[in-house]
Amino acid sequence: MVDKKRVGIVGARGHTGAELIRLIAAHPHFELGFVSSRELDGQPVSAHVAEYRGEQVYRNYAHEDIAAHPADAVVLALPNGKAGAFVAAIDAAGADPVVVDLSADHRFDDGWYYGLPELTRGRYRGQKRISNPGCYASAMQLAIAPMLDLLSGPVQCFGVSGYSGAGTTPSDKNDVDKLRDNLMPYSLTGHLHEREATRQLGLPVEFMPHVAPHFRGLTITANLHLAKPIALDAAKQRYLDRYAGEALIRVVDDAPWVSRIAGKHGVEIGGFALSADGRRLVAVSTLDNLLKGAATQAMQNLNLAFGFDEMAGIPA
């Protein structure tokens, strides 16, 4: 019997950390090596994540503790700006685990593999430093990529996400009372995921995000200007061809709904509409921001790093 790979999670209190624990608990080749959380220090993991039935307890590990803790992989589920100190401590200690950073801290670092598998797995060369893409950035890139060679200018993306995307630290964007019967725009220019998608696609993306009262799931509507006319069937066929064989991507006719993607591990892209002159295509992309937008994608990247089937441990 092959020993399971030990995966540690730093920042395990948050929504994404809990989803990762669920995925690891059900994985045939991984086991939970440690879980670090300042707020839940000393509490059993099983008291917070029912699907986990092991003996692990949350611990408030310092940077050097993480570096010294034996693990085959470390997932950093931390707010932006917090991952660097942990990576530096791991490097300084001479440890060499696979590190998957769920924050934006290394998405613009060419020394890290940018892990959006459906678009970038061909670039993977055994790197042990993996940057997990942003949730909105994933949805935008997947909606745009099949048309990339036909685009004539910037792509506009209107986005709406559930408030879990704002994390667990209290703010207006996760305040249920303020969100009730509301749609809250924010960061309408220069959003981090706008810059991320622009960098990865090599074409300007203009992104306008909003928060809605639902908990999980996001949708983006992409407005694509084309250099030459295309027929609607031909445009849809591009998506079908590009994502043929991708277990986590469904190309559909109708515009996908957030309520149908919440709690699921994949992406739905559809709702294709074309202007009368055939030179403006609109496409809608939905995914669960905590799963394919974070934890599920991290699991794909971990599977890739260890040579397992990319879908291992990910429910169909």
Contact between 218 and 139 (Cβ < 8 Å): yes
At residue 161, the 3 state secondary structure works out as strand
DSSP reduced 3-state for 282: strand
The answer to whether the beta carbons of residues 20 and 298 sit under 8 Å apart is: yes
Q: Where are the alpha helices (DSSP H) in 166-308?
A: 176-179, 192-201, 232-242, 258-261, 296-306
Structure tokens at 207: 């992104």
Which of 250, 306, 251 is CA-nearest to residue 6? 306
- What 3-state class would DSSP assign to 115? coil
Q: How far apart are CA 136 and CA 107, in angstroms?
A: 13
| Annotated catalytic residue 135 | yes
Candidates 312, 310, 316, 301; CA nearest to 30 is: 312
For residue 271, what is the enclosing H or E element?
strand 267-274
Cα separation, 301 vs 124, in Å, equals 10
Of the candidates 135, 142, 155, 269, the residue annotated as catalytic is 135
Residues with catalytic function: 135
